[in-house]
Amino acid sequence: MLDAIDLCLGARRNPQFTDSDFHGLDCDRSVAIRATVGDLPPDLQSFEAHGHHLRGYDPLLGSVEDEPGNGLDTVLTVELRVGDDLEPRWCLVSDRATRAGVERSLSWRDRLKLAPTRLSGAGGHHLGWSRGSILNRLSDERADVSAAVSRAARQTRSSLGTEAGSDLAKALASVHALSVRLGVPVGDGVTAMLDARSMAFGNGTISLHDEGGVPLQGLGLGSSRLLVAGMQREAGSGSSIVLVDELEHGLEPHRIHSLLSELGAADRREPLQVFATTHSPVVVKELSVGQLHVARRSREGIASLRRVAATEEMQKAVRACSEALLSRTVLVCEGPTEIGLVRGLDRFRTAGGSAPAGALGVAFVDGNGQNTYRRALAFQALGYRTAILRDRDKEPDPTEAAAFARSGGVTFAWRQGNATEDELFAALTDGAVGSMLDAAASCRTREHVDSNIRSLSNGKTTLDNVELDIVCGALDRETRAFLGKAANKGKWFKTITDMQDVASDVVGPDLSSADPEFVKVVNDVFGWLAGA
């Protein structure tokens, strides 16, 4: 997408195209890229020059009208078209110009006014006074290098000629003798000096250096991007469009913040229009939701952009689960316990040869209890394939649950009245229950687990008694029930890490023998994830 903007509006003279640039390698269908540009300088709004091509943009509706009018921003639509001859052609387009048979291209000077600045790994030329660099837009000042550089060049040529004459004496004598024999006029001798024709110097020769004389063009990628971004903002005039691919590249998190600040991300009125791509949750978290768009490609290969709604709930979801915006499928889990369970089971299944959830583009999101359905609805509104995994010790808001179901959302839940801990202690075999008790004692303390069991059983039993029942095969339904309640209330596995380890080491290996209803829910969850 950034390449498309750069090619359409950029000021490169000879971009190269090949057959692979055509969709499906079908060269009979021309490449056509259109960009509509507003906030034009006065000369580009001239009716005499561009009257047939001036159009109107409605900022409220986000639509382009074919003619300018009251309440509309005056805009131009630029089209880049490439046919099977692979030659790019830039022109202005409008419906009425097409009907009138009027064609007009943009001059090179006008294209320079619209050309975006691209912050990339090859952006070091902006740190010198080369043609098209930002430094040339910072001020009207120009260094007159001709006299000083010419003197230095003459001195260098002369001194090098003296040194080279002794090093290359045999070759020089041979050439001189040959020139005399052939009648080539070279005077009394030949010398070795720098070729004057290779010593052309101009403003492009001057670049920025640090105090030690080291060229700033040698800065790291991140530092170079930061400096160029600040210069672009400082330059002010000219094109205010900036393209940044993988904005986080080469930058630590605190410097990402600095780069975004220089690009005007936090300003009430943005000084620049920035098109940036990212795969970093740090970048996503730093931006407001109104600045974010989700880019995705369909199974048919069609790319689309969806703007993130600027709502309070969406902002909370993005800040809390920024990494999920970089996925394709979102499973909203009611809390850390459920996240740990699916992550641990995913690890167990991966060891058995199944594809890991990460490879399927799946993100596990914390629904934060009662916010689960609101968070799921937020991701679903952005076009993510979204499901919920929740327990059933408390029922959700029926309105939110109904809205999620109507919009195609899928909910996976345990049996009525069961929290995740209730379900596990009810569904797993006796041996697995014993292993879970060992894990709980390791995560907390044996005394803590025993105290919870005594409390929830009203003093009827202890941890020692439960472990004896397991050994004797006498673990009954009532004991399993208060073990689930004790685990929940005592927070035995309330962190992602604790439950993840239990799920991977205990629950996963026990699935083949566990209660079928529990196993069905687990299989349904992972079957849905695999359908991503």
Q: pLDDT tens, 418-462? A: 999 999 999 999 999 999 999 999 999 999 999 999 998 888 899
Pair 500, 340: CB distance under 8 Å: yes
What pLDDT, on the 0 to 100 scale, is given for residue 254?
Answer: 87
Residue 150 has pLDDT above 90, yes or no: no
Neighbours of 424 (CB within 10 A): 30
Transcribe 107-173 into DSSP letters: -HHHHHHHPPEEESTTGGGGGBT-TT-THHHH-S-----HHHHHHHHHHHHHHHHHHHHHHTHHHHH
The pLDDT-based confidence of 12 (bands split at 50, 70, 90) is confident
Q: What is the pTM of this model?
A: 0.77
Q: Per residue in 291-313, pLDDT tens?
A: 999 998 887 778 888 888 888 88
CA dist 110 → 5, 45, 78, 148, 243 (Å):
16, 11, 11, 34, 19
What pLDDT, on the 0 to 100 scale, is given for residue 367?
Answer: 92
What pLDDT, on the 0 to 100 scale, is given for residue 170?
Answer: 74
| Residue 387: its H or E element | strand 385-390
What pLDDT, on the 0 to 100 scale, is given for residue 316?
Answer: 86
Computed over every residue of the chain, the mean pLDDT equals 85
Residues in a beta bridge with 119: 244
Give 357's DSSP letter: G
What pLDDT, on the 0 to 100 scale, is given for residue 531?
Answer: 86
Residue 203 has pLDDT above 70, yes or no: no
Pair 422, 436: CB distance under 8 Å: no
Q: How far apart are CA 248 and CA 278, in angstroms?
A: 7
Residue 172 CB-density burial (10 A; 0-12 exposed, 13-18 middle, 19+ buried): middle
Q: How far apart are CA 12 and CA 105, in angstroms?
A: 15
Q: Which of 161-165, 258-262, 321-325, 409-413 has the lowest mean pLDDT?
A: 161-165
Q: How far apart are CA 68 and CA 56, in angstroms?
A: 4
**What one-letter code names the amino acid at 144?**
D
Transcribe 444-496 into DSSP letters: S-HHHHHHHHHHHTTTS--HHHHHHHHHHT---HHHHHHHHHHHHHTTTT-SH
Residues 6+ apart with CB under 8 A from 231: 126, 134, 135, 138
Q: Per residue in 386-396, pLDDT tens?
A: 999 999 988 89
What pLDDT, on the 0 to 100 scale, is given for residue 401?
Answer: 93
Q: Per residue in 368-383, pLDDT tens?
A: 888 999 999 999 988 8
3-state helix, strand, coil in the chain (%, to 5): 50, 15, 35
CA dist 292 → 278, 384, 446, 471 (Å):
10, 15, 49, 57
Q: Which two tokens stand for residue 366?
A: 């914390």
Residue 164 has pLDDT above 60, yes or no: no
Q: What percent of the chain has pLDDT over 90?
A: 48
Question: Listing from the earlier edge strand, what are the strands of the sheet with 241-244?
Answer: 117-119, 241-244, 273-276
Residues 6+ apart with CB under 8 A from 349: 508, 526
